[in-house]
Amino acid sequence: MGDIEGAPVVAASAEPGPQLRWRGRVDREVVRQPHGEAVDRDPVDEVDRAVALALAARRRGEDLHLVPGRPQPRGEVVDLHLDATQPRQVAVGEHGDLHADSLSWARMVLMPHTLVAFHAHPDDEALLTAGTMARAAAEGHRVVLVLATDGAAGLAAATFGDPTTLGARRLGEAQRSADVLGVARVACLGYADSGLGPALDPDPAGQVRFVRTSVAEAAERLAAILREENASVLLTYDANGGYGHRDHVMIHHVGARAAMLARTPRVLQATIPRDTICRAIALAQKVYRFPPEFDPTSFERAFVPRSAVTHRISVRRHIPAKRAAMRAHASQASADGGADRTLAAFLRIPRPVYDLVFGREWYVDPARPPGSPVSRDIFEGL
Ligand SMILES: [Zn+2]
């Protein structure tokens, strides 16, 4: 449990009722809450030391949330809401005395948000938003990954057999990627991958290709998740769909519509400033040969110009998690898949260049007035 910061709490789950008692100082013990199982209104008495826990759902099945209702006079009961199913818990940081300084209490109270990252295919999350997701999870927010498709068209079917099997395999990889990023929930809307080819293949049995569905229908399904999660921020793609994959363009439209339906306060379109990636690729090409299917010039028309970026998020501290997420996808397909080969290629980029390219993530907030200062925090102002 090395990733749990802060101190106390002891669970008394064997007692009748969810009683949680603090007598004096109880340090270095944590409540372990089974995944999704809510424990509500745990009274704690005689708090003479701060409730101090930074919480994070770092691993599936180990959601840890401590939610004090409000500051209490010494000796009175504090209600603790331990509820992994509620997206907006109050987390309390470390501080000395609950009563000495109510302002410091107020400052220490964080309001974790729920971040929903909406992606077209398994592996897109690893490339574009993994650092932001890992950072949000590490900071105690709830992170949800929603995939539109299972990515079954991502690899040559001849090599990997039945696309149905491939879809299941790629969803498994997405789950492993999500686990290392600290994602609390992975949902797949179940559309079929529309593929990259010039012609759109017929729908596979029992599925509709993502671009064949209507924006309204897909948006309603995403909106249901946004409402259920009470999402504060939705991550989608820029209007170009990054490099232009038809499913990625669809994510842009579906995401915008879903956020409107669910009244999600902020939509951030994942992107890369064109000049940054072109410069980094030019640099990498001096020391590294990209595989033949990787077309560096494709980035000259993709994504957005630097001036459109509204959020630049430092994820340097989360590069290990981001690389692990990429590896979760790159592992199975070093041979044939275009997307996965690109991932594997990225992982072989020399580390300083990798950090330059992948140590930051960029977003466009369409609601921000042009010329606003670039924000460093996706939750700023929420
Ligand atoms: Zn994709």
pLDDT at 162: 62
Cα-to-centroid distance, 124 and ligand 1 (Å) = 5
Cα-to-centroid distance, 63 and ligand 1 (Å) = 29
Q: Are 102 and 290 in contact (CB under 8 A)?
A: no
Query: What is the DSSP pairing of strand 185-191 with strand 142-149?
Result: parallel
Same domain, 104 and 150: no
Same domain, 1 and 101: yes
pLDDT at 331: 66
Cα-to-centroid distance, 322 and ligand 1 (Å) = 16
Q: Decide if 41 is inside a domain.
A: yes
pLDDT at 301: 78
Q: Which of 62, 94, 111 is the last residue of a domain?
A: 111
Cα 71 to the chain's mean position, in Å?
Answer: 31
Same domain, 177 and 283: yes
Q: Which residues of 302-328 are buried (b: 16+ CB within 10 A; e: fewer)?
A: bbbeeebbbbebebeebbebbbbbbbb
Domain assignment of residue 79, given as a range: 1-111
Q: Decide if 347 is inside a domain.
A: yes
Cα-to-centroid distance, 111 and ligand 1 (Å) = 32
Cα-to-centroid distance, 234 and ligand 1 (Å) = 17
Q: Decide if 208 is inside a domain.
A: yes
pLDDT at 381: 87
Cα-to-centroid distance, 195 and ligand 1 (Å) = 9
Cα-to-centroid distance, 119 and ligand 1 (Å) = 7
Cα-to-centroid distance, 159 and ligand 1 (Å) = 20
Cα-to-centroid distance, 122 and ligand 1 (Å) = 7
Same domain, 268 and 332: yes
State the pTM of this model. Answer: 0.70
Q: Are 75 and 101 in contact (CB under 8 A)?
A: no
Instruction: List the structure tokens of 269.
Output: 């379109």
Cα-to-centroid distance, 194 and ligand 1 (Å) = 10
Cα-to-centroid distance, 58 and ligand 1 (Å) = 25
Residues of the chain short of pLDDT 50, as ranges, are 1-110, 156-158, 337
Cα-to-centroid distance, 103 and ligand 1 (Å) = 46
pLDDT at 57: 31
Give the chain's domain count: 2
Cα-to-centroid distance, 115 and ligand 1 (Å) = 20
Same domain, 254 and 137: yes
Same domain, 312 and 178: yes
Same domain, 161 and 46: no
Cα-to-centroid distance, 46 and ligand 1 (Å) = 53
Cα-to-centroid distance, 285 and ligand 1 (Å) = 24
Size (the chain), residues: 382
Cα-to-centroid distance, 108 and ligand 1 (Å) = 39
Q: Which of 96, 111, 126 is the last residue of a domain?
A: 111
Cα-to-centroid distance, 242 and ligand 1 (Å) = 9
Cα-to-centroid distance, 112 and ligand 1 (Å) = 29
Cα-to-centroid distance, 230 and ligand 1 (Å) = 26
Q: 3-state DSSP call for residue 160? A: helix
Cα-to-centroid distance, 47 and ligand 1 (Å) = 50
pLDDT at 159: 53
Strands (E), the chain: 5-6, 39-44, 53-54, 78-82, 91-92, 109-110, 114-119, 142-149, 185-191, 233-237, 266-271, 311-314, 360-364
The per-type count for the chain, helices as H runs and strands as E runs, is 11, 13
Q: Decide if 370 is inside a domain.
A: no
d(CA 261, CA 113): 19
Same domain, 320 and 222: yes
pLDDT at 332: 63
pLDDT at 111: 63
Cα-to-centroid distance, 32 and ligand 1 (Å) = 36
Q: Decide if 372 is inside a domain.
A: no
Q: Decide if 379 is inside a domain.
A: no
Same domain, 88 and 143: no
pLDDT tens per residue, range 38-97: 333 333 333 333 333 323 333 333 333 333 333 333 333 233 333 333 333 333 333 333
pLDDT tens per residue, range 306-349: 899 999 999 999 999 999 999 998 766 555 545 556 777 778 77
Same domain, 241 and 167: yes
Cα-to-centroid distance, 337 and ligand 1 (Å) = 12
pLDDT at 253: 98
187: nearest Cα among 140, 267, 241, 118: 118
Q: Decide if 264 is inside a domain.
A: yes
Cα-to-centroid distance, 149 and ligand 1 (Å) = 9
Cα-to-centroid distance, 187 and ligand 1 (Å) = 16
Q: Which of 111, 144, 171 is the last residue of a domain?
A: 111
Cα-to-centroid distance, 67 and ligand 1 (Å) = 37
- Residue 156 is part of a domain; what is its CATH number? 3.40.50.10320
Same domain, 120 and 262: yes
Q: Decide if 284 is inside a domain.
A: yes
* Residue list, CB under 5 A from ion ligand 1: 120-121, 124
Cα-to-centroid distance, 353 and ligand 1 (Å) = 23
Same domain, 127 and 85: no
